[in-house]
Structure 1
Amino acid sequence: MFNPRFLVVSLGNPLPKYSSLHSAGHYCLRGLAPALGYPPFHETKLGKQPCLVSQGAKYTLVQSPTLMNISGPFVARAWAEMIKRHDPASLSLVIVHDELERELGQVKLVPWDRSHRGHNGIKSVKSLLSQKKYPESPFARIAVGIGRPKERDAATVSQYVLAPISPQTEADLEGKAALDVRRELQNLEDEWRIELAK
């Protein structure tokens, strides 16, 4: 019987201290929990450190507690902990992260092996977790668009992604964008089911 489980980890800088577009993944996850009927996030220990988790039968939703650029070690430890509890063949890893290449609030399931495009959080995670090591476990990413400034120089882009987020944008990410993340998780499950049926 196909009984999939998902470790869904959002990347970003810790909230509420670093409230910005760079933490769009955290906002989406925060809205995803009630959309799934899951309990509010609470602090628990996972990956050998305290982090915010909302746990249900199918999804373990986790906000990475580290700064964005050093997300890899935490995600790798959390994954190692989960595969000790569950059969890797029934477990999927999904990373939810911000993306400059998409319009604000646009959500898209993207292949794990797609380029990190300079995203240091994804780069950090992929340096420590290889899909090839876990061939039975689908690894995937869900990109949450945050738009981008007209100027493309590094300083302007950095200022844009780290600027304080508006209450309306926060609400949009926790609302419609979170529902779109739920849809993409279902799409991933459907694709997984089809692959297993082949």
Structure 2
Amino acid sequence: MVNPRFLVISLGNPLPKYTSLHSAGHFTLRGLAPLLPNQPPFAQTKFGKANALVSQGSKYTLVQSPTLMNVSGPFVARAWAEMLKTYEAKDCCLVIVHDELEKPLGVVRLVDWEKSHKGHNGLKSIRGVISQARFPESPLVRMAVGIGRPKERDPETVARYVLDSIPREMVDAFEGDAAGKARERLRELEAEWCEEAAKVK
């Protein structure tokens, strides 16, 4: 049997300075905390050898990566190492919450860890330091939060689309509806994980 514990890390550029679609993961995670049973509010604390916003409950440790998106990997690796020092690897699951251009706005889906990062520099940075092969006992999963795509596909337009400031109502949608979907995806992930663990037993 496993005793599921989740390290859920959102990617994005630090808030509140960068209120953009690229930080959809941060907004979703912020809305997720109040939806989980007995989950404390976020507080600034030391985690992964950095000062970060963390909500640490009995089952879920939610962390907003404090780094810029493109250099997320080293922080995520340190945070994951800290988790594995505290709990058994077989009981730990790493979930990375990130924005996803390929999915419609507000859609939240679980994605295989090894699936292509499709040019997402935050995921690329993490994949450079953490692979599923190195942690065979622990599920590593991505949770993609859809942000849609602009009609034009040239790099300059896409960069402007993900990095420009977004209105409060869009932030509210990520913290509300998308956060609710994220909670459901975590429930699905836990059920699948426990089912697979029971088969191994």
TM-score by length of 2: 0.97
In structure 2, the partner of 1:99 is 100
* Structure-2 separation of matches of 1:136 and 1:43: 30
* Structure-2 separation of matches of 1:143 and 1:130: 18
* Structure-2 separation of matches of 1:47 and 1:33: 19
Deviation track 1:104-137 (CA, whole Å, cap 9, x = no partner) reads: 1100011101000000000000100011011010
In structure 1, the partner of 2:143 is 142
CA RMSD after TM alignment: 0.7
* Structure-2 separation of matches of 1:93 and 1:2: 15
* Structure-2 separation of matches of 1:40 and 1:189: 22
In structure 2, the partner of 1:17 is 17
* Structure-2 separation of matches of 1:10 and 1:66: 11
Runs of 4+ in 1 over 6 A off after TM superposition: none
Q: Which amino acid aligns with 2:36?
A: L
Post-superposition offset of 1:14: 0.3
* Structure-2 separation of matches of 1:130 and 1:112: 8
TM-score by length of 1: 0.98
* Structure-1 separation of matches of 2:145 and 2:27: 10
Post-superposition offset of 1:2: 2.8
In structure 2, the partner of 1:119 is 120
In structure 2, the partner of 1:164 is 165
Say if 2:18 is the partner of 1:3.
Answer: no
Post-superposition offset of 1:3: 1.2
- In structure 1, runs of 5+ residues without a counterpart are none
- In structure 2, runs of 5+ residues without a counterpart are none
Total equivalences in the alignment: 198
Q: Which amino acid aligns with 2:111?
A: V
